[in-house]
Structure 1
Amino acid sequence: MLPAFLLLLLLLPPLLSVHHANAGSLDTDVAALSAFRLAADRSNALATWNNLSSNPCAGTSPQPWRGVTCAGGRVTRLVLEGLSLSGSGALPALANLDGLRVLSLKGNALSGPIPDLSPLVGLKLLFLSRNALSGPVPPELGKLYRLLRLDLSSNNLSGAVPPEINRLDRLLTLRLDSNRLSGPVDAIALPRLQDFNVSGNLFSGRIPAAMAGFPAEVFAGNADLCGAPLAPCKEEAASSCPPGAAAAMAATKPAAEGGGGKGKMSRAAVVAIVAGDFAVVGLVAGLLFCYFWPRLSGRRSDRRHREGEKIVYSSSPYGAAGVVAAAAAGAAPERGKMVFLDDLSGIGRRFELEELLRASAEMLGKGGSGTAYKAVLDDGSVVAVKRLRDNPTPVAASSSSSSSKKEFEHHMTVLGRLRHPNVVPLNAYYYARDEKLLVYEYMPNGSLFSLLHGNRGGPGRTPLDWAARLRIASGAARGLAFIHHGTRRGRSGTAGSKLEAHGNVKSTNVLLDRAGEARLADCGLAQLGCCSAMSGYRAPEAPAPASASRPWATQKGDVYALGVVLLELLTGRCPAMAAGEGEEALPRWVQSVVREEWTSEVFDLELMKDKGIEEEMVAMLQLALSCAATAPEQRPKAAYVVKMVDEIRACREEPSSGRGELSSSSSMDESSAVSDSPAVSEGGGGPAVSQ
């Protein structure tokens, strides 16, 4: 018994050392890098890789190893782009770098098949484009479940895309363009793809409906691909013929071919049938015209005689449809008037209602509060007009129409006093019993929503950079802080003369003026009862729209919505669609990623071209999540949000020493380059986010 015990003691250290080696160590990393250099570096581009005199992970090394980045004593990044590396047996050595998070070998001359990289279970970014790799896409890539970006473009890969790729449910980028891949593309079903390209291959078949939203360029160069956004497939083109046309073609085909067999119709019979159909249709149309025309013309004449207001017959889309309905019911139409508020700087001058209704109008958008239009007046000046949704009810309004009008006019007076560089000013309004119009200064640069989400991935889009997003965040926060705190010093000095809350903060209500400054729109319209917080921006404590007995707007609810807007700026995602249905979709999705680990997955792909901003993005993420806290008492005040955003902006003016880089290589400046710095991704050294 004793010898056996001694034998176990003797064997235990070697067994432990073998287990440690299998788990990976810096020594195995150095061995793997040395094997790779020996097989690939024929031009001596990696001369600094000398495992005898230096340590790739030692900050005191006389000369750092080119393209190698470490964290926690392990190699986590290997970025070697455009170094003329070559050879067919070099890549397998890298499979031993089991601590690797980023591998980029773009723009070299590496050849041979892609090896089994499944041991690199922590890999998030894999860029092998612009090499000479051949063979199939290995199905083992489906085991890299953390992978966010995969770029295999501009190689000589062949065969079909393996279905195992669909296991990469986190994948944001998939680029397979400029290869010789074949087979259908409907095998690719990745729900989170943002950057996708399979052009210049041999793919065939129908493009699935889930991919129809990508531009045609990403499918170009595949002669046998069809379906939206490319040309329709042959069976679709055949089925697009109307049934009548198909029947006529079938009927005339035998005659055209000279066939006169039994059961085949002659050309004369077909012409007779078509002529008979036209005659029947014409007869029915004539009878309907004779029956309805006298009634329609009589009713129109009667309306013109009784109403006599130009607003009724205006071709403008914001005409008084309610007045028309009242006149049709026999009620006397109520004529309102344009009421101009103190400051006319946004519209320049006063004008009559008739001039507003003569203006050419273009619809800007439709929301919960009503429909907005761009109107060009007779002198060429431009204003924004909002036609409120039918029958808005002011706060505390009584049932009598006179009291309702008085409350509405008082509320408009309060809104007219909101004069701030980050608030869209209300300059005039029109009130009638069934028609209410608001006239605002026109904001020519559109909304934050359109800037973030419009034409995303399409040609001609200009991404919104980080500096612009910070400026917009600051402007929106300043406007909200003014509404919450600055309006208490109202000029009237009367009770109820201030606006307590905005009530409908969302990215479509963050507009940009001529100077690019953000301004909050639709201030105070929630208190009229004509709108409620949009899905995705509504605070957890807010009543559902269907169950709300009266208008609901609070400062804490505004701060929650502002936090969602900040998350929208950071992620580039639509709040209501970030994680399926649910009011807290975007905050819940971000929190789930943050709880798992610090990862660049939450940040917008379009921000990845900006360098050295990850610390600012993390700070903004902390602030946004604190604003979107589930408990209202945990949310900061709007003035505090302004202070924190200004501090983040001030960091951009300070020297950038000590900041992490998005990439360890300056050549990683394409849209596929994604930050994966340990301070953000690996949990080490990254600040915690308060729930």
Structure 2
Amino acid sequence: MPKSSFFNVSLLLLILLHCCLLSSSSSDLEALLNFKSTVDSTGKLNSWNSTTDHCKWTGVSCIKNRVTRLVLENIELTGSIEQLVSLTELRVLSLKHNHFSGPIPNLSNLTALKLLFLSHNQFSGEFPASVISLSRLYRLDLSFNNFSGEIPPSLSHLTHLLTLRLESNRFSGLIPNINLSDLQDFNVSGNNLNGQIPNSLSEFPESVFNQNPSLCGAPLLKCTKLSSDPTKPDGAKASNPETVPSSPTTIHGNNKTTTTTNSTTRISTVALVAIILGDVIILTFVSLLLYCCFWRQYTEKAKKTSKVLEGEKIVYSSNPYPTTTAQNNQSQEKGKMVFFEGTRRFELEDLLRASAEMLGKGGFGTAYKAVLEDGNEVAVKRLKDAVTVAGKKEFEQQMEVLGRLRHSNLVSLKAYYFAREEKLLVYEYMPNGSLFWLLHGNRGPGRTPLDWTTRLKIAAGAARGVAFIHNSCKTLKLTHGDIKSTNVLLDRSGNARVSDFGLSIFAPAQTVAKSNGYRAPEVIDGRKHTQKSDVYSFGVLLLEILTGKCPNLVETGHSGNAVDLPRWVQSVVREEWTAEVFDLELMRYKNIEEEMVGLLQIAMACTAAVVDHRPKMGHAVKMIEEIRSGGGGGGSESSPCNDGINSAVDSPCLSEDTCGGTISQ
């Protein structure tokens, strides 16, 4: 083909593509204008006119000039929503608290729809069957309408569904066995449903099933056996809540009433005494038998428990300095506890006597919680033998620098102990565990998700802690060196406190070079750790908060290849599916999309491959604080579990290998 012909064909294709985009955009505009003309009788949509850009109209958001979000709540709109079915790129549709009526039109063209809120209207008819085809749907709210008929079992096809609200309608029949593993927000109260609640929904509270008089089964009253009810059409069988009679049984027949009483049978005194003695003997024998069995199990369990507790004790060297001759002892200085200002004093022997439990293992050693005899709690890190220290002076100089760092978002170093065979660091104890445990621990049923407000608070606190380290000593240019979610702890007030800072100076070369998902590319290549590599690690931490994924390897799902978290996020964002990045647990909160995108942009800037393109930590702090103060949308929904952190128990023992392997997308 001649070059001129090839050029003409390419130009024609570009023109056709442009025309298609313009056509799609104009069809969205036409659909919105037609919708306004039929539903806006009160003139609330006065900004909607053909002379302005429709993407700037009230309640309308666009991507590439296509309408992706339509939020029109509580503005007295009436009529049908038929005109909206041509908005094929729509991802969010919320029409709550209006006066729409009639059946829901066919929504099967809205294949990108993820959030659908139609509550508090007058919609009628049966459950909209077309909704079942919306495979990307996360939230569905049809509550407070006039829907009738049965709830379809095919709802189980919506595998991503987190919210299903159908309360205060006129649905009837049985509740289908909806098996949705991610379902968190469910309600069918205030309908005409009957029969037994399926086991897949029995873990939800009683309140979500109330005001359905014929429902039974957990969590409501137990169901009786199915029995024919002649009062129901077609001899339908009804399963009713179990009731307990409160009066003696009476039998009516031939106009006579026979009441069973114990007065018709008289038992002799001798027989009564014999029955009582027999019961006592049998009960005594059974009690002895059970006692013997359970006592044996208890003693065995106690032995095992004592072994476990014994294994969790801190295994300090009873003589932490070398056992040598008297002459050598005189020439070598014995180890001693060195305390920083404001720390309650204690001796090494106090730590040896303290009850202790292991908190976790890290790259530099094992951490323990120690409870001293006076009740004071501290965290003790026992450094690994592989930690390289040139000498006592070098170690003391570094500890002196770290011990002076005091900030509300840092875990303070209280004391240290140095000897040739034992090196201990004593920190203040953080009772609410780590960010790692809050994000990844206890995944599955019964888990309390980490809400968005708390995640943003932790991100800001950790950023302030790292920024303080970077700015605390201009001449030394201190770095953290090991930023990760296991090193972001939470105090009693739920504030983020950064720990384990400044220890990377003692790490062996092979440890620093090894990638654990947080290391900057230049550090993996063997270059020296810098403040900008700290920024990269912090950016990975932000991505972990946003995605809920461990930052080692993420399976792409396309080719099956595993990539690190920053590259996976970049690939998803390039394909313009930014919403797919965010943790599914965050989809339950409304109006936080702009804030999440704002934090995502900060994280991507921090994880830039080019070192000079990364911001300083101080700048990152300002950007994060501006997200909630007004620069990132401001109108986010308050999270329902802000106080959950304050009631958290001690974090279980966690290892850095907990996130090993790949995580499928």
Deviation (angstroms), 1:572: 5.2
- 1:55 alignment partner in structure 2: 49
Please tell me whether residue 488 in structure 1 is matched to residue 476 in structure 2.
yes
Q: 2-side partners of 1:125 and 1:431: how far apart?
A: 58
Q: Given the two structures, how large is their TM-score scaled by the length of structure 1?
A: 0.58
**1:73–1:625 Cα change, 3 Å:** closer
Tell me the residue number matched to 1:248: none
Aligned pair in 2 of structure 1 residues 536, 45: CA closer, same or farther (>3 Å)?
farther
* 1:30 correspondence with 2:33: yes
Percent identical pairs in the alignment equals 39
How has the CA–CA distance of structure 1 residues 233 and 149 changed in structure 2, closer, same or farther, with 3 Å as cutoff? same
The match for 2:103 is 113
Unpaired stretches in structure 1, ≥5 consecutive residues: 1-15, 235-265, 294-313, 325-334, 398-405, 490-498, 545-550, 673-691
1:188 aligns with 2:156: no
Question: d(CA) in 1 for partners of 2:35 and 2:499?
Answer: 59
Structure 1's 582 and 437: CA in aligned 2 closer, same or farther, altered over 3 A?
A: farther
- Correspondence 1:641 to 2:647: no
Report the Cα offset of residue 645 of structure 1.
1.0
**Could you tell me how far apart the structure 2 residues matched to 1:46 and 1:197 are?**
35
Per the normalisation by structure 2, the TM-score is 0.60
Contact kept? 1:129, 1:154, Cα under 8 Å: yes
User: Which whole-Å CA distance do the structure 1 matches of 2:283 and 2:603 have between them?
Assistant: 71
Q: Report the equivalent of 2:74.
A: 82
Distance 1:103 1:431, change over 3 A: same
Q: Please, which of 156, 175, 186 is the counterpart of residue 197 of structure 1?
A: 186
Find 1:472's aligned residue among 461, 464, 474: 461
CA RMSD between the two structures:
5.9
In 1, the alpha carbon distance for the partners of 2:553 and 2:217 equals 30
What secondary structure, in the 3-state scheme, does the structure 1 residue paired with 2:453 have?
A: coil
CA contact (8 A) 1:336 1:430 kept: no
Q: Decide whether the 8 Å contact of 1:509 with 1:521 is kept in 2.
A: yes
How big is each residue's C-alpha offset from its partner over 1:300-331, in whole Å with a ceiling of 9 and x where there is no partner?
Answer: xxxxxxxxxxxxxx98954436659xxxxxxx
Counterpart residue number, 1:247: none
Q: 2:398 aligns with which of 387, 397, 414?
A: 414
Helix, strand or coil at the partner of 2:538: helix
Secondary structure of the corresponding residue to residue 150 of structure 2: strand
Query: 1:82-231 alignment to 2 at 5 Å?
Result: 82-85=74-77, 90-98=80-88, 100-155=90-145, 156=147, 158-163=149-154, 166=157, 169=160, 173-176=163-166, 180=171, 182-189=174-181, 195-198=184-187, 200=189, 204-207=197-200, 216=205, 221=210
In the superposition, relative to structure 1, how do residues 172 and 554 fare at CA in structure 2: closer, same or farther (>3 Å)?
A: farther
Deviation at 1:637, TM superposition (A): 8.6
Structure-to-structure mapping, 1:496-535, within 5 angstroms: 502-511=480-489, 518-525=496-503, 527=506
Q: 367, 372, 375: which one pairs with 2:371?
A: 375
Partner of 2:349: 354
Cα distance in 2, alignment partners of residues 373 and 27 from structure 1: 66
Is contact 1:445-1:514 (8 Å) kept?
yes
Tell me which amino acid in the other structure corresponds to 2:395. Answer: H
Which residue in 1 is equivalent to 2:427?
Answer: 440
The CA distance in 2 between the partners of 1:505 and 1:231, in whole Å, is 52
Structure 1 position 563 matched with structure 2 position 539: yes
Match of 2:240 in 1: none
Residue 45 (structure 1) aligns with: 42
Q: Please state how far the C-alpha of 1:482 moved relative to its aligned partner.
A: 5.5
In structure 2, relative to structure 1, the CA distance for the partners of 1:55 and 1:111 (3 Å cut) is closer
* Conserved? CA contact 1:78–1:100, under 8 Å: yes
Q: Distance in 2 between matches of 1:272 and 1:596?
A: 74
1:344 to 329, 341, 345: 341
Question: Aligned pair 1:537/2:547, yes or no?
Answer: no
User: Aligned residue for 1:621?
Assistant: 600
Structure 2 residue 416 is the aligned partner of structure 1 residue 429: yes
Tell me: CA distance 1:205–1:516, structure 2 relative to 1, closer, same or farther (3 Å). Answer: closer
Change (3 A) 1:537 1:65: closer
Which residue of structure 2 aligns with residue 401 of structure 1? none
Tell me: CA distance 1:82–1:337, structure 2 relative to 1, closer, same or farther (3 Å).
same
Deviation at 1:561, TM superposition (A): 2.7
Distance 1:28 1:424, change over 3 A: closer
- Which stretch shifts more, 123-132 or 435-444? 435-444
Aligned-partner SS, 2:399: helix
AA aligned to 1:594 is: V
Structure 2: 5+ residue runs without aligned partners?
1-18, 225-277, 304-308, 320-332, 641-665
Q: Structure 1 pair 100/278, CA: closer, same or farther in 2 (3 Å)?
A: closer
Query: What is the CA deviation profile of residues 4-59 of structure 1, one whole-angstrom value per residue up to 9, with x for unaligned ones?
Result: xxxxxxxxxxxx99x96998252343223323x1xxx6xx4345469xxx715716
Q: Deviation at 1:416?
A: 3.8
Q: Distance in 2 between matches of 1:613 and 1:140?
A: 26
Select the residue among 375, 380, 383 that pairs with 1:385.
380
> 1:64-83, aligned counterparts within 5 Å?
67=59, 76-83=68-75
Pick closer, same or farther for the CA change 1:105–1:523 going to 2, 3 Å: same
Distance in 1, Cα, partners of 2:287 & 2:72: 75
Q: Measure how far apart 1:624 and its partner are.
A: 2.0
Paired with 2:54 and 2:154, the residues of 1 have a C-alpha distance of 46
Task: Give the CA deviation at 1:563.
Answer: 1.7
CA contact (8 A) 2:451 2:639 kept: no
Return the letter of the residue paired with 2:157: N
Letter in 2 for 1:187: N
SS in 2 for 1:594: helix
Q: d(CA) in 2 for partners of 1:521 and 1:232? A: 52
